[in-house]
Structure formats: C-alpha cells, structure tokens
Structure 1
Amino acid sequence: MKTYFTLGVFLLLSSFINAQELTAKIVDSKTNEFIPFVAVQTAEFKGVISNEEGEFIIDLEDVDANTIELSCLGYQSLTITISDLKSNNYIIQLEPAINELNAIYLTNSKPNVDSIISRVNRNLIKNYKSDALSYNFFYRETAYTNFEDLDLEIKKSSKVKKRQLEEANDKLTKMGNGIKNGDFVYFTDYSGTLNIMDDSLKLNVDKATKIVNSNENVSLEEIQKNARLTVLKYLDTTMTYKLKTGLFKIEDSLSLNDDDKKEKTLNEFKIKDLKEGTISVLDKSRTGTSGMLKEVLNQDDYEYTLDNASMVNGEMVYLITFKPNRSSANFAGSLYVSEDTYGVLKLDYSYAKGKQGHKLNLKLLFGVKFIENINTGTIIYTMNDQNLYEPRYIKSEFGQYFYLNRSLKFIENSSDKNKTTFDCKIAGNTISRKELLFSSITNLDRTEFDALNEKEAIAYDVLRKYDASNWSGKQTLAPSAELKTFDGEE
C-alpha cells in the first residue's frame, strides 16, 4: 500500500494555489482503500460528492461553522473541522459501519425482504418528485473509442493507375494504423440549470469545456469521410460521382471540391443535444418507466436478498441485493433502503452475468453489427427540507461493440461511368461515462418556467489539459487521476 505523504503534499500545495478551494481524499480506516460517492455536507442541504477515487473539492466560502459532515452507506458518519482536516494532510478516514442485521434478528422477527420491496413500491409517489423542478447541476462525460480493427483499401479502379492505387492504399493504411494506435478519449464538462414543467424542458448552460487530444475525437462518420476524401483525390477531381454501398445509393453528386468548401465547424454545443444528454442521465433516477427504480423494483422480474442493516445518520438502513428472476430481467446490484420511509437512498446496478442490451447483427447481409455490452450506474438520493428524496449524484456508464464492413462504389457521372471500389472494415468498442452532480434542486412554478429563455447553442472552450481554475467557485466533481494526468498535446 502506498503512503499518502505525496498526496498530502500535493493537496497542501493546491490549497495555497487557490485559497478558496480545498481538495481532500476519503479512505477506509481499516484498509486505506479510497471510498467513492461519499456525501460531503458543507451547509444545510448543500455539499458535494466524492468521485470514484474518493476525492472531493469544496469551496471554503460554502462551509458553515468551519466544519463538514461526511456520510456514506456502509460507514459511520463523521463531522470534522477544516483545521483538523488540514492537520491530517487532507486525508479523511471513515470507520466501517457495524452490521446490525443479527441484532435485528435477535430482537424482532426476521424482516421479510419481499415485504420491504413492496413497501418501497407503495411509497414511490410519496417519496419522490420529478416535475415542476429546477435542477442546478454539473455534468461530466468521459468518452473512449478503442479500435480493434481498421482496414481501408481501394480494391479496384477502372481509371486510377497502378502506381497511384498503391500510393492511395499506402496512405489509407497509415491512416488506419494511426487511428488504431491512437488514444481517443475526450472529456466534456458543463454546468447549468435544467428546468422541468409538465414534461417540457428548458436548459440554461452557463459554462462548457471540452478536453481532447490534438487529433480531436474520432467517430465512424469522420473516419469514413476522411477515407472518402483520400479516395476522391486520386479520381478525376473535375468530375462528380455517385456513391453506392450495396443496394443503396448514398449520394447523387459527390466531389472533392464540395468538401473543401465546407465551413469549419464552430466550437459550440447545440442546446438541444446537451438537453438530450442531461435528461437521459436524470431519467435514470426518476420513478417513470425509463427510470432504473421502476426496472429493479419489479418483483416479478427480480429476486431479492436482505444482506445487511446498519445505522446511518440515526436511521436504520437495509442493504438489499437483487438479481434477475426471469429471462426478461437484465440487471444485478444493490439497494439501500430506509427503514423509516422505505425510500431508496442508493442504487447500484449493472448487467447481470451473461446479460446484454440491444444488439443488431446484420453482418452477413449489410456488414453491420453492434452489441450493448456495458450498462452500469450509481444513483444517490438525499432527503430535502420537504421530506422528499431527490437525486444528489448520478453516474451512468454505457458501452457497445461495433462492427462495420462495407464496400463503397464511386461511379463517375459521365457516359463512361468509370467505377472505383473502396472497402472499409472497422471494429472496436466505445464507452461513455456520464455523471451528474446536483448542487441544488428547487420547486418551479409555471410563471417562472414560461419566463425562462433558452439559447440554441453555447460556445465551449477547447482545452488540452484539465485546469481547475476554469471551475473555481462552482460545485463540481473532483477530477479523476486519468483526467488530471491527461495531456492532449502529447
């Protein structure tokens, strides 16, 4: 186990660089392993959540009475002063909670897990509200693309000379190898307010950044476009072409000149796209049909086990694990349920062993295949001043395998109808991890909602490295080690 001396020195230096912010790390007192998703309360109904590496950032101006309170399911709560935190080199140790389940069995009849789940279902409407609300949030997305196979080749051409054909294929091979060996990851951060009224949405984004490497992120569309342009350069650039794949005609008129004249895309996000991304994550926490609570609380589809019970912030909390009971169920995970309210405090889920999501296999017919192979997440709820549970933090990770193998045929728009056949084979995996941290959630009335104006787009800053000063004064997620060490210039 590595010592935490270096980390403590780093965090101490960080506090001098930005005196208004404090960064610390939370570890298990027994194992010294970091503890993710710890609620760090800086004031009443205000605070942050530690990231997956147990690290958090707080603004000292948000701290009341010079103390912070830490709570995490499975651990004893802790209140610590800022001065004591500094004395401990910005390392906080939490004690594991005592398993109270055996004590409950000795003093009471054994709790029936199906009865607990039934009560959770009955109290869903009472415990949760998801409409007429204004969500103040911070959003982070980390996206990866890993190419396992990328073959690009001009198979035959009725007009391109052999030497030119070899030259073109050499360029395509280098392009493919460069992409396969590249590190394609990008990070998107933005903060703002999502307003919901009667299923209508309005999004206000006040700041956005995108951290990418110097090659930008690579999509299947971009790869095909760049390969297509390479092929066009070796054809007669004075001509236009039809582009066909299999039985389908893609374009009537295609030329190199048309692509050269296209304007460069501005560094801006469409609000419509950000809204779709934000609500897709938020929906995981809601009690509607698209929410994960509705999915895993279906007692016909899932089997439940009561594993543990412990005291958290003065209330008894049940730890219940679940797994599929029918072939139609896909997830396994755990629920933390309050004995007092039968509200879910935390939900962890992922595909159960052997389970997958949507898939399409038209490999033989159209050369296309994809499989959703990752769907995992964590949702943490806290009770507000109206005794309703609201999401505090949501993580949703989604991944899929993709395969594309197709021949593109360039047909010259002329009486000769010269043809060039280009083969494109791509296979790999994509993973997208989306996180939402809520700093506040307030009630919203119709008049307020109608008065809100929504922009069509928001400009974002393109960065090559993470810079904490970009988010100074805002409640954000602490950057992971991967994000802190990412250097897009390398």
Structure 2
Amino acid sequence: MKTYLSVCAFFICICFLNAQEIVGTIKDHVTNAPIPFVAVQTAEFKGVISNEEGVFVINLKDIDSNTIELTCLGYQSLTLSTNELKNLDYNIQLTPAINELGTVYLSNTKPNVDSIISKVKNKLKTNYKSDSLSYNFFYRETSYIDFDNLNLKVNKASHFKKRQLIEANEKLNRMSNEIMNGNFVYFTDYSGNLKVMNNEQQKLNIEKATKIINSNKNISLDNIQEKAQNIVLRYLDTTKTYKLKTGLFKVEDSMSLANDDNKNDNPNELDIKNLRKNTSSTLSKSKLGSSSMLITILNTDNYQYTLKNASFINNEMVYLIEFEPKRSRAHYTGSIYVSEDSYAILKLDYRYAKGKRGDKLNLRLILGVKYIENVSEGTIIYKKNNEDFYEPRYIKIESGEYFYINRPLKFIENSTTRNKTAFNFKIEGQTRHREELLFSNISKLDTSEFNTFKENKTITFETLRKYDAKIWSDKETLAPTTELKTFDAENE
C-alpha cells in the first residue's frame, strides 16, 4: 500500500510540474503556416517571443489576470484566457490584419513614403535610447560548418619510408572522410545581464550557460590543420623540432608533437570578454551607432522606399514599408513597420539584395585563399516601454561565409641535414551562424551600480549531449526548434 501511494504521489507530482509549463504553437488562420516572432505577453511588461516555427513556452506562474495577449505585426491581436488556450489544445491561429491602404489613400491627407521616412529619421533620438541601461537577456547561438572539399596529403618526404608515407596518407584520408561526412552543428545558450554605460563601458554577468556539441566533432579550420600536422609529425623524428613554411610565409616558431602535451585548455571554460563582445555586437544592430541597421537602411542616398500597406494594430495605424538598394554601395532589401503615432520603427526585416555580398577576399591564385560573406539577414523587434522609449525585444542575426584554402605546407627540420616534408592542405566549404537575443527586462543603469559590479574573467559552460528543457524552466527563453530538440550528440 505504501509503495502504491508513493507511485501515485510521484505521478501527481510529474503532472503538476508539467502543468506549470505551457507549450503552444501559433499559425496563420488562412495559410496554416507557423508564425514566427509573435509576442506572447503574460503580464504588462513580461512575456516571450515565438520561435521560427511559431512555438512558444511560458510558465503559468508568470501569467497575470489568467490571460495572455498575442501580437504580431501584420496580424490582428488576440487575447486568450488560460482555459480558452487549453480548449484550443494550445494551437492558436491569428488572422491577418486588414489592408487599410486604400482607405488611407482616400482620406484627406495622402501618406507619402519619403515624408514618413523623413519623420522616422528626425525622431530616432527621441524614440530610442541605448546607453546607461541594464539588459536582462537570453542568448542562443547556432553554428554550422559544411565542407565541400577536403584534401590532405603528404606529397613527398626526404626521410619517410614508403610504408610510412602510405600509412600517413591513409590516416589523413580517413580524417578527411570523417570530416566530410560529419554533421557539425553547435548550440550555445546562456542567460545573464549586460550593463551598458556607453559603447566603451560595458560589463557582463552570466547566470547560466550550456552548450550542446559532440566533443569528438569539435572542429574548426584551425584545428583541422593542427590535427593534420600532428599526423605528419608522428612520422617525423619526435626528438627534433620543425619550422613550418606555407606558401610565401614561414612560421619561425618551432613545433613538435611533444608541444601538444603541455596544453592545459578547458574546452568548457570561455572568456567573459569574448561573450560580452558577441552579446554587445548583436545588441548594437538595434542601436543608433555605426553598426546599427536602423541607421543603415534609413540612408536615403542609398535606399528607395515603397509604402505597401497600412493596418490598424492594437488601435494604432502601422505602415508597412519595403526598401531596396538605390546605389551600388547599398546591400540590403527588406521591410520596416512604422507607427503613425510616434514614427518609430516597430520591426525591421533585412537581407542581402539579389547579387549583393559582404566582405570578400580573393587571393586564390596568389596565396590560395578566398573568402566571401554571402549571407547577412536579420529581424529586430522593438517594444514601447513605460517611458515611451522603444527598446529591443528580440534580435536575430544570421551570417554565412564561403571559404577556400589551398596551400602547400613544408616541414623543415631544425638540424644540419634540414630534412623536408612536403604536405598539401586544401579545404573548401561554407559556415553559417545564427545569433538570437531575447530581452526579458531593460532598466536604467546608474554609474555607481556599474562601477561596483565586478565582471568575472571566465564562465564554465554545462556541456550537454542533448537539449534539456528543465535547465531553463525558470527563465524566459526561446522555445527550442525541432532541430535543437531532436539533436542528440550521442548519435551524431
């Protein structure tokens, strides 16, 4: 009887815990397509954003007045009680907002897109504030490396035996095949607080951090070359050191296989300074500095604009304006949603226009190196706070690069005989990188609070083999995508 009661108590507890968390999906009423980036408000200044698949996660304890409000530019807002949400089986449909552009054009004052953009620019400093603020956030990073070509080979060695040369190339070939057939996806989540006095004075506090990665496939362009070099070094005289000559350059630092034994790196420990740089760089896209996307797309010399729609959203007229390059130096196309009342940009979507690229370097014929930034896109969503400033609610940035490296490497023995080993290193592929920032609270920051806070130098990540929702159950986070939920490093 005691055992039976214990089992019953266990299942009651499990049901209670599960009931505290709501997982919902939001779709378009007309197309049934998932709607990303819907604001799910649980209290006056609290809530989450649906992910790219229209999925959101909220905790029942965060819901005030037993209702949630869903808002998304381009859709009619919807308020639901928790009972209504349950009756819908947590599957919600939003109705597209009615296009009021025809009605607006029939009014006495015809909206002019250039006039709207001019007012937006004039009110930037009135609408947005970015200094002396403390940002509570959740950060998610997803990185991919796809290899199209990988060729590692010892061409000749003045002191290799034939058997050793064959054996070294077999190991290099196996390594190449494993990398080419590998699935290199890395997930990093962390939450914390970024204190920003200005662009130069910033401090970061990390509360919790996790990463999901297959440790056997922790790969980068640098350690591919390092691993290949170590295979070659094993067949050289391990009592000697070597200089590495590559193309027109010569690395004068001596190297040997024994040097690796002295490494004391903790792969789970990351430098706070680097994390602060990543977080601040993503945040800067929403601000008014030199890297701001607002400043970039509001350059009327570079871009032209088209008024596509006007809708009433939450009793507020909102203009949908599309932009595209007017000059060759402009790179982006996309859309902005502008409030008629405040002329603030509420949402910005951008991507490279057709035929446009970012930074590039093509020294393929001279040094065997080529690099092209071929993906740059993002979404920034702003929300008005209780002081009528517009602050970032959610930021997503995606980037992608093509890379090509083809160079001969030569190991030169540090001895009178100067034995040489010729080695070819050729690698080609694509990298993709997605960063997301969700802000749960943004508050004023005074100088004394900033000065007294001591920033740690490093943070230790909890390394997982697969996503664990329980770790983040007490935080406002982004719901995991299907890719993240189903990724299991043990099976990769």
Question: Do Structure 1 and Structure 2 share a fold, with TM-score over 0.5?
Answer: yes
1:8-19 mapped onto 2 (5 Å cutoff): 18-19=18-19
Hey, what does 1:174 align to over in structure 2?
Answer: 174
Maintained 8 Å contact 1:15/1:21: no
Mean CA deviation greater in 14-23 or 119-128:
14-23
Hey, what does 1:139 align to over in structure 2?
Answer: 139
Hey, what does 2:9 align to over in structure 1?
Answer: none
The one-letter code of the counterpart of 2:90 is: Y
Maintained 8 Å contact 1:321/1:333: yes
Hey, what does 1:283 align to over in structure 2?
Answer: 284
String of CA shifts for 1:181-228, please: whole Å, max 9, x gaps: 100000000000000013300000010000012424310001000000
Q: Distance in 1 between matches of 2:89 and 2:18?
A: 16
The one-letter code of the counterpart of 1:469 is: K
Q: Distance in 1 between matches of 2:354 and 2:374?
A: 11
Q: Does 1:305 align with 2:300?
A: no
1:18: Cα distance to partner? 2.7
Q: Distance in 2 between matches of 1:180 and 1:356?
A: 26
Hey, what does 2:26 align to over in structure 1?
Answer: 26
Hey, what does 2:430 align to over in structure 1?
Answer: 429
Hey, what does 1:69 align to over in structure 2?
Answer: 69
Q: Distance in 1 between matches of 2:217 and 2:269?
A: 14
Maintained 8 Å contact 1:51/1:480: yes
Hey, what does 2:297 align to over in structure 1?
Answer: 296
The one-letter code of the counterpart of 1:326 is: R
1:78-97 mapped onto 2 (5 Å cutoff): 78-97=78-97
**How many correspondences in the alignment?**
478
Q: Does 1:376 align with 2:377?
A: yes
Task: Give secondary structure in 2 for the equivalent of 1:169.
Answer: helix
Task: Give secondary structure in 1 for the equivalent of 2:338.
Answer: strand
Q: Distance in 1 between matches of 2:215 and 2:248?
A: 37
The one-letter code of the counterpart of 1:242 is: K
The one-letter code of the counterpart of 1:296 is: I
Q: TM-score, normalising length from structure 2?
A: 0.96
Distance 1:412 1:392, change over 3 A: same
Q: Does 1:52 align with 2:57?
A: no
String of CA shifts for 1:280-304, please: whole Å, max 9, x gaps: 1000000112100000001110010
Hey, what does 2:127 align to over in structure 1?
Answer: 127
Maintained 8 Å contact 1:371/1:400: yes
String of CA shifts for 1:332-379, please: whole Å, max 9, x gaps: 000000000000000000000000000000111111110000000000
Hey, what does 1:3 align to over in structure 2?
Answer: none
Q: Does 1:462 align with 2:463?
A: yes
Q: Distance in 2 between matches of 1:117 and 1:266?
A: 48
Q: Does 1:416 align with 2:421?
A: no
Maintained 8 Å contact 1:185/1:217: no
1:175-190 mapped onto 2 (5 Å cutoff): 175-190=175-190
Q: Distance in 1 between matches of 2:434 and 2:103?
A: 39
Q: Distance in 2 between matches of 1:264 and 1:270?
A: 12
Q: Distance in 1 between matches of 2:289 and 2:73?
A: 25
The one-letter code of the counterpart of 1:321 is: E
Hey, what does 1:446 align to over in structure 2?
Answer: 447
Hey, what does 2:396 align to over in structure 1?
Answer: 395
Distance 1:16 1:407, change over 3 A: farther
Task: Give secondary structure in 1 for the equivalent of 2:177.
Answer: helix
Hey, what does 1:405 align to over in structure 2?
Answer: 406
Q: Distance in 1 between matches of 2:195 and 2:116?
A: 33
1:261: Cα distance to partner? 3.0
Task: Give secondary structure in 1 for the equivalent of 2:263.
Answer: coil
Identity %: 62
Task: Give secondary structure in 2 for the equivalent of 1:198.
Answer: coil
Task: Give secondary structure in 2 for the equivalent of 1:75.
Answer: coil
Q: Distance in 2 between matches of 1:471 and 1:121?
A: 39
Q: Distance in 2 between matches of 1:307 and 1:370?
A: 37
Task: Give secondary structure in 1 for the equivalent of 2:187.
Answer: strand
Maintained 8 Å contact 1:15/1:23: no
Task: Give secondary structure in 1 for the equivalent of 2:34.
Answer: coil
Q: Distance in 2 between matches of 1:299 and 1:58?
A: 41
Hey, what does 1:112 align to over in structure 2?
Answer: 112
Mean CA deviation greater in 282-291 or 343-352:
282-291
Q: Does 1:238 align with 2:239?
A: yes
1:128: Cα distance to partner? 0.2
Listed as ranges, the gaps of 5+ residues in structure 2 are 1-13
Q: TM-score, normalising length from structure 1?
A: 0.96
1:248: Cα distance to partner? 1.5
Q: Distance in 2 between matches of 1:250 and 1:87?
A: 68
Q: Distance in 1 between matches of 2:160 and 2:316?
A: 76
Task: Give secondary structure in 2 for the equivalent of 1:215.
Answer: helix
Maintained 8 Å contact 2:248/2:367: no
Q: Distance in 2 between matches of 1:216 and 1:472?
A: 29
Hey, what does 2:37 align to over in structure 1?
Answer: 37
Maintained 8 Å contact 2:182/2:217: no
Q: Distance in 2 between matches of 1:181 and 1:269?
A: 28
Q: Distance in 2 between matches of 1:265 and 1:453?
A: 23
C-alpha RMSD of the superposition: 1.2
1:264: Cα distance to partner? 4.4
Task: Give secondary structure in 1 for the equivalent of 2:138.
Answer: strand
1:17: Cα distance to partner? 5.2
Hey, what does 1:193 align to over in structure 2?
Answer: 193
String of CA shifts for 1:391-446, please: whole Å, max 9, x gaps: 00000000000001111110111110000011000000000000000000001111
